[in-house]
Structure 1
Amino acid sequence: MAGRRYGRLLSLLALILIGMLALRIPAMGQGQAARAPAILLDVDGAIGPAMADYVRRGLGIAAQRHAPLVIIRMDTPGGLDPAMRAIIRDILASPVPVATFVSPSGARAASAGTFILYASHVAAMAPGTNVGAATPVEIGGGMPGPGRRDEKDDAAEGGKGQSQPQSQPKPDSPMETKAVNDAVAYLRALAELRGRNADWAERAVREAASLSATAALAQRVIDIQARNIGDLLAQAHGRAVTIAGKRVILDTRGLSVEEIEPGWRTRLLGAITNPNVALILMMIGVYGLIFEFMTPGALYPGTIGAICLLVGLYAFAALPVNYAGVGLALLGIGLMIAEAFTPSFGILGIGGAIALALGATILVDSDVPDFRIDWQVIAGIVAVSLLFTLVVVRLAFRARWQGVASGREQMIGARGLTQDWEGRSGHVFVHGERWNAVSEAPVREGEPVRIVSLDGLLLHVEPDPSAKDRERRG
């Protein structure tokens, strides 16, 4: 009896333990899900369409995984305004808090980077970094603005604290004034949204002012100065941020970090939106189509050319192009095509090469080095264009001085042999064909003759004088 009681008691205890474990397992699972790793996105270089696509995809992955935080590690000289605004829109719409971290030491958040830093829920910088110089580059003129700042100047700013405002020419045209005021209003709106220093934000645009990390923290431009990502996570823990109108407390202490690498699509987009690559693709497309039209049925030049041309045009559609540059480039391409089909002995081709070079020089409207066309690429394209023109001119001269090789005119002066002849008419064998012929001079059967003229399908011939000369010499 005692043994049965002990057995029932043990069974009851076992059931209780199993139930407790069953309740514990979901709780453990929820705890692990809540501690999903933070997502790290590396924004290193100029802000362009590829970078905007990379950030958008990274924020989407973070939202799908319910990540507690997205860290954008940034080092940028600036970039394109449409790409910058696309990134900011994605940050503002993100259900996951975003911390932008200007790192490592020596990095900068210039121009577009300043806007992105202000838009983030948490703004952080590493020691030895700087932020600012947010004047729109289109009105910068000759100043050492964003994208043309010297690294030594940046290092000096990082050591001295706040830099002196750069020599910034005041806007003197309605378009320049409009661009500056728009940028000022945009950055002030972001500063007010995140509770940061809006007055300095205006100075960063109007005066191209810059700050070191220490000065930025003192003037409430950033929230945190951190040595590394671990230090950033520790300092961000417990901070309150606003997401979709709701106050959220960050729980970042001890978080692991998972870096999201750019995918193949982002890499491809980054390659083709390089203005140098886009221009080369467009020229390959143009020459491919020219060769296809000159030699119909070749297929390969036309197919490859059409693909390259469409990819190049797509890339330029994503870049800030100057319409004057586009017009000159199209004029140059048109003149070279005209040279191929209506040879002008080089005038159209040389003019097209010059127009293309001038158009390529001003094609992309950006002072950021990564989005300017290299002069070496322009020189190479002009050299290829001139070589193409030289080939066309050479073929034109050869065609001009070469005898007619086919058609009605080719028969004039051709030599044949009479097959049968009676009186002033008979048949002549010329180029493997038997023709009706007449002659004013006496002609014998089997005698060489020369064609004088052609009347429909009737040949007018005469005895071949060169054959008589050979007979005399013989």
Structure 2
Amino acid sequence: MPTIRMLIFRMVLILPVVGTLRTRADEDQMNPLPSPPPHYERVMIIPIHDMIEPALLYIIRRGVQEALDIDAQAVVFAMNTPGGRVDTTEEIVELIEGIRVPTYTLVERNAISAGSIIALATDHIYMMPGSKIGDAMPIMASPQGGMQSLGEAEREKIESYVDSLVRGIAQRKGRDETMASAMVRRSVEYKIGDEVISPEGQILTLTHLEAEKQYEIDGVMRPLLSEGTVADEAEFLSLIAAPDAVIQRVEPSEFEQVARMIAAIAPILLTIGMLGLWIEFQTPGVGWAGLLGALCLGLFFFGHHIAGLAGQEDLLLFLLGIGLIAVEIFVLPGFGVIGLMGILIVLWSLLSAMTPTLPDGSWMPDFQNMADPAKRLA
């Protein structure tokens, strides 16, 4: 029968072991082992480049649909944007949050303003060297270019709305709400423990090194925002995709490129449109100034819808040709260049509609296949 001295001796031996086990368990909680990297077999890459505007939404919608079509296991948004429209950003966020497979943002250079909001809506964020993310304070753009000044009440109303938007996204994705709010409001100080990340009076914008810095948050060591820095897209794909994975990339169609170009020159279109109408009012009668003004204003207000017209090129060319012929008959005296252009465009549209084309994304028909349709049209 063991003596009391022997029992005490055994307890002395056991307690250090138990203490060691507890210490290691605490360390494991503070520094959890990284989960094994995924190895997706099918990955869709969707670009988010330049301004966030309605024409870009068409590209992203098409990319998400193509991801569904190929049964993609992950969707990557390759991002380099200075920001853009809040309404379009909300639609993109809603679209991303509806994707049922893991989503990634790869910040190539800038995820600023609306770009940072979209990045927050994805499941994972990676960044390239020299890239930045944040600065989501809303501004009001002027139709003529530049920024409009806002009163205190107007600014508070807009900031409050965007602040609630980013905090809601952060809540749904398990990210720090205060960090998201600090990207929108100057009045928010963001700190972790005693370290001030973004002082009051400054909008939070993070470099790739700051975004990947590890902090103890809720008792767990984790990066502030970015899960890592990669040298390029190839290194990023090597982390998440299988070596023989199918990588599909969304490329903007011709109509989508035109729509994005129209969005880029929208202030110029508005200026020319208003000037054309003013000249027309000063000189009564339907002339070139009025037609040009109406065309520019039409492109300004409806140009982004052109991105959704892919596949209707022949019909659009036909209607354009008919329109030019109508202008020649009812507006301009005689029958000259405009009417001839209209006839040629109508003939081209009919010939193109009768010519088989391959689904390669190009709207130009194969000239070698035009011989038979040309004979039938003649």
1:45 aligns with 2:53: no
User: What is the aligned partner in structure 1 of residue 70 from structure 2?
Assistant: 65
Contact (CA 8 Å) 1:292, 1:301: kept in 2 or not?
no
Residue among 220, 223, 226 paired with 2:224: 220
CA distance in 1, matches of 2:266, 2:68: 33
CA distance in 1, matches of 2:66, 2:49: 20
User: What is the aligned partner in structure 2 of residue 209 from structure 1?
Assistant: 204
User: What is the aligned partner in structure 2 of residue 268 from structure 1?
Assistant: 258
Contact (CA 8 Å) 1:122, 1:223: kept in 2 or not?
yes
Contact (CA 8 Å) 2:41, 2:244: kept in 1 or not?
no
Residue among 305, 310, 319 paired with 2:298: 310
The structural deviation recorded for 1:222 is 2.4
Residue among 112, 117, 126 paired with 1:115: 117
The structural deviation recorded for 1:308 is 4.1
1:306 to 1:69, Cα distance in 2 relative to 1, 3 A: same
User: What is the aligned partner in structure 2 of residue 133 from structure 1?
Assistant: 135
CA distance in 2, matches of 1:109, 1:74: 6
User: What is the aligned partner in structure 2 of residue 385 from structure 1?
Assistant: none
Look up the equivalent residue of 2:131 and give its one-letter code: T
CA distance in 2, matches of 1:231, 1:48: 30
Q: Which one has a bigger Cα radius of gyration?
A: 1
The structural deviation recorded for 1:36 is 6.0
TM-score (normalised: structure 2) = 0.54
The structural deviation recorded for 1:291 is 9.4
Q: Secondary structure at the match of 1:224?
A: coil
1:310 to 1:221, Cα distance in 2 relative to 1, 3 A: same
CA distance in 1, matches of 2:62, 2:276: 31
Contact (CA 8 Å) 1:284, 1:309: kept in 2 or not?
no
User: What is the aligned partner in structure 2 of residue 258 from structure 1?
Assistant: 248
CA distance in 2, matches of 1:191, 1:215: 18
CA distance in 2, matches of 1:225, 1:268: 34
Post-superposition Cα deviations, 1:64-94, rounded to whole Å, max 9, x if no partner, equal 2212222211111111111211211111122
1:54 to 1:69, Cα distance in 2 relative to 1, 3 A: same
Look up the equivalent residue of 1:131 and give its one-letter code: I
Q: Secondary structure at the match of 2:68?
A: helix
1:100 to 1:49, Cα distance in 2 relative to 1, 3 A: same
Unpaired runs of at least 5, structure 2: 1-38, 187-202, 214-222, 307-378
CA distance in 2, matches of 1:197, 1:254: 36
Post-superposition Cα deviations, 1:432-456, rounded to whole Å, max 9, x if no partner, equal xxxxxxxxxxxxxxxxxxxxxxxxx
CA distance in 1, matches of 2:277, 2:96: 40
Look up the equivalent residue of 2:165 and give its one-letter code: Y
Q: Secondary structure at the match of 1:258?
A: strand
CA distance in 1, matches of 2:129, 2:262: 35
Q: Within 5 A, what are the aligned runs for 1:122-161?
A: 122-138=124-140
Q: Secondary structure at the match of 1:233?
A: helix
CA distance in 1, matches of 2:95, 2:236: 22
The structural deviation recorded for 1:204 is 1.4
Q: Secondary structure at the match of 1:101?
A: strand
Residue among 169, 178, 182 paired with 2:161: 182
1:236 to 1:193, Cα distance in 2 relative to 1, 3 A: farther
Contact (CA 8 Å) 1:282, 1:313: kept in 2 or not?
no
The structural deviation recorded for 1:62 is 1.3
Contact (CA 8 Å) 2:40, 2:240: kept in 1 or not?
no
RCO higher in structure (CA 8 A, sep ≥6): 2
Look up the equivalent residue of 1:212 and give its one-letter code: T
Count of residues paired in the alignment: 237
Q: Within 5 A, what are the aligned runs for 1:70-85?
A: 70-85=75-90
Residue among 251, 275, 279 paired with 2:270: 279
Look up the equivalent residue of 2:78 and give its one-letter code: R
User: What is the aligned partner in structure 2 of residue 464 from structure 1?
Assistant: none
1:305 to 1:215, Cα distance in 2 relative to 1, 3 A: closer
CA distance in 1, matches of 2:46, 2:66: 11
The structural deviation recorded for 1:185 is 1.9
CA RMSD of aligned residues (A): 3.6
Q: Secondary structure at the match of 1:231?
A: helix
CA distance in 1, matches of 2:81, 2:171: 23
Contact (CA 8 Å) 2:107, 2:127: kept in 1 or not?
yes
Q: Secondary structure at the match of 1:120?
A: coil
- Percent identity, aligned pairs only, is 23
1:97 aligns with 2:88: no
1:283 to 1:234, Cα distance in 2 relative to 1, 3 A: same
CA distance in 1, matches of 2:272, 2:42: 41
Post-superposition Cα deviations, 1:181-213, rounded to whole Å, max 9, x if no partner, equal 222221122112122222211111113111111
Contact (CA 8 Å) 2:269, 2:300: kept in 1 or not?
yes
Look up the equivalent residue of 1:126 and give its one-letter code: M
Q: Within 5 A, what are the aligned runs for 1:347-362?
A: none
The structural deviation recorded for 1:275 is 1.8
User: What is the aligned partner in structure 1 of residue 171 from structure 2?
Assistant: 192
Unpaired runs of at least 5, structure 1: 1-33, 140-146, 149-170, 238-251, 319-474
1:236 to 1:190, Cα distance in 2 relative to 1, 3 A: farther
Contact (CA 8 Å) 1:196, 1:222: kept in 2 or not?
no
Q: Secondary structure at the match of 1:136?
A: coil
Contact (CA 8 Å) 1:288, 1:304: kept in 2 or not?
no
TM-score (normalised: structure 1) = 0.44
CA distance in 2, matches of 1:36, 1:292: 65
Look up the equivalent residue of 1:179 and give its one-letter code: I
Contact (CA 8 Å) 1:278, 1:313: kept in 2 or not?
no
Q: Relative to structure 2, which stretch is displaced further, 277-286 or 267-276?
A: 277-286
Post-superposition Cα deviations, 1:24-75, rounded to whole Å, max 9, x if no partner, equal xxxxxxxxxx976422222222212222222222112211221222221111
Look up the equivalent residue of 1:82 and give its one-letter code: D
Q: Relative to structure 2, which stretch is displaced further, 128-137 or 213-222?
A: 213-222
